[in-house]
């Protein structure tokens, strides 16, 4: 199985990096072919130029490569922190440039202007791993967990991915090394549950 794993955190010492590497290691141990992108390490430009908006636009090679890979993948893993209830800007820009018409979705003619797309991604499942320093009850009760809506409803749900599993690890800033090690095992176990060995 081909798995596309994208990481968005600027610090290589972050727990996000540890989560991404734990997920990758488990996936590879299960025999999956993992395509890994660290957006900060790649210096991915998140700015969508006007020239790229149209479906048939000529794309820079790095963006075109991401598009080809995500279109061909069987599963997707996204790892990022919760910053102000949203992904980091580099990941939001990655969505703007890569989760694009003709690659991830297309609009249907005669939809009465509703703009509800037909999902084109062939991935059967996506896993989103987040870190947070907000307590879960506050995240749900006060902020209504916007990341859940973004990934499940606004992105993957509209792009044809039928299964979206999301897990938030926190409160990271207060966590012990022992707790973090348990979380890394849990992240690996999630990979195995969603993407079992073939």
In this predicted structure, what is the pLDDT of residue 40?
98
For 136-170, what is each residue's pLDDT tens digit? 676 666 666 899 999 999 999 999 999 999 999 98
Contact of 107 with 157, CB cutoff 8 Å = no
Q: Helix (H) and strand (E) counts for the chain?
A: 6, 7
Name the band, by pLDDT with cuts 50, 70 and 90, for residue 72. very high
Instruction: Indicate the domain borders of the chain.
Output: 2-194
d(CA 132, CA 130): 7
Q: Domain 2-194: give its CATH architecture.
A: 3-Layer(aba) Sandwich (3.40)
């Amino acid at each position: 199985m081909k798995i596309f794993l994208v990481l968005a955190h600027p610090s290589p010492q972050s727990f996000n990096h540890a989560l991404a590497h734990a997920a990758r290691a488990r996936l590879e141990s299960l025999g999956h072919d993992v395509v890994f992108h660290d957006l900060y390490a790649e210096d991915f430009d998140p700015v969508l130029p006007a020239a790229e908006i149209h479906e048939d636009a000529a794309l820079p090679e790095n963006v075109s490569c991401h598009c080809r890979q995500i279109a061909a993948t069987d599963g997707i893993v996204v790892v990022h922190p919760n910053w102000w209830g949203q992904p980091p800007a580099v990941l939001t820009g990655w969505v703007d440039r890569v989760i694009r018409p003709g690659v991830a979705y297309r609009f249907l003619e005669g939809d009465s202007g509703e703009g509800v797309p037909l999902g084109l991604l062939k991935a059967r499942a996506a896993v989103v791993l987040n870190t947070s320093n907000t307590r879960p009850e506050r995240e749900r009760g006060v902020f209504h967990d916007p990341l859940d809506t973004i990934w499940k409803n606004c992105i993957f749900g509209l792009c044809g991915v039928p299964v979206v599993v999301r897990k938030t690890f926190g409160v990271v800033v207060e966590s012990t090394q022992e707790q973090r090690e348990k979380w890394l095992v849990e992240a690996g176990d999630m990979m195995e549950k969603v993407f079992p060995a073939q």
